[in-house]
Amino acid sequence: MRKTAVLDTVRPPIEAPTTEPTSPDGRTEQWRRTGAAPLSGVIDDAGWDALVREAVSCEPAAADRINDCPGLMAYRDGSITSPQRCRAHRGGSALRALAIGPALLEAARAVTGQCTLVPARYGFKYYRPGDFMAVHRDSVKCAGITVSFALTENLGPMGWLPQLRDASNDAVLAHIGAEPFPSDGEEFPLTDGMFHGFDGYNIPHWRPPHAGDGVAILGTVCFFAL
């Protein structure tokens, strides 16, 4: 979807169909209540190791992902973009297989209760010391669920504002003001070796400046609800 610079004042609600099944372990309820839930049973240890090796191997070819325009920009698709500095790579066969294969898709559908999800974007992000992504709302490509996972142990927690999940973009902008990393946010740790689903299209979130040594690697797969 082409972005425009027209400010959005009304965000259509993304509601899970009420006639679809709820996951037996309660994760759908957790998702609806909190805007986040872990995805399990997606990959075995060998598959995870392959994903980590691929992420590391792609790092030399990663491209700069720099937005140094000050402030926040709200778009018609409901997203909000903000300054960021990191590097990105779309990954290789391991990430592609994860993103378009049935295991992650079925886990995402089970958690959200939405049987219309399809994979829409995926990639690796590389954070050198000091790299960051300021507060934002994800693209509409992630309107189903954003799945994030830490591929290195030095990736710090994400920050987020789950209480603004249902807020309009105007309300989000008014709440955040000029803070790139809102001080009233909560930490969202990405436990190593796990896939974390969250409502990144609706919940403002950010990645503070990487304070650790070396490069931290984040993986992301987004699903859109048709």
Binding site for Fe ion (CB under 5 A): 138, 200
CB of 138: closest distance to Fe ion in angstroms?
4
CB of 205: closest distance to Fe ion in angstroms?
6
Residue 77 or 138: the one with the smaller Cβ distance to Fe ion is: 138
Taking alpha carbons only, the member of 123, 126, 132, 120 closest to residue 201 is 120
Nearest residue (beta carbon) to Fe ion: 138
Residue 114 or 139: the one with the smaller Cβ distance to Fe ion is: 139
Residue 50 or 188: the one with the smaller Cβ distance to Fe ion is: 188
Question: Which token pair is 70?
Answer: 């000050």
Q: Which residues contact 136 (CB under 8 A, 6 or more apart)?
A: 72, 79, 80, 81, 82, 84, 204, 205, 206
Question: Which token pair is 36?
Answer: 């986040």
Residue 50 or 203: the one with the smaller Cβ distance to Fe ion is: 203
Taking alpha carbons only, the member of 10, 13, 3, 17 closest to residue 202 is 13
CB of 216: closest distance to Fe ion in angstroms?
15
196 with 147: CB under 8 angstroms? yes
CB of 220: closest distance to Fe ion in angstroms?
7
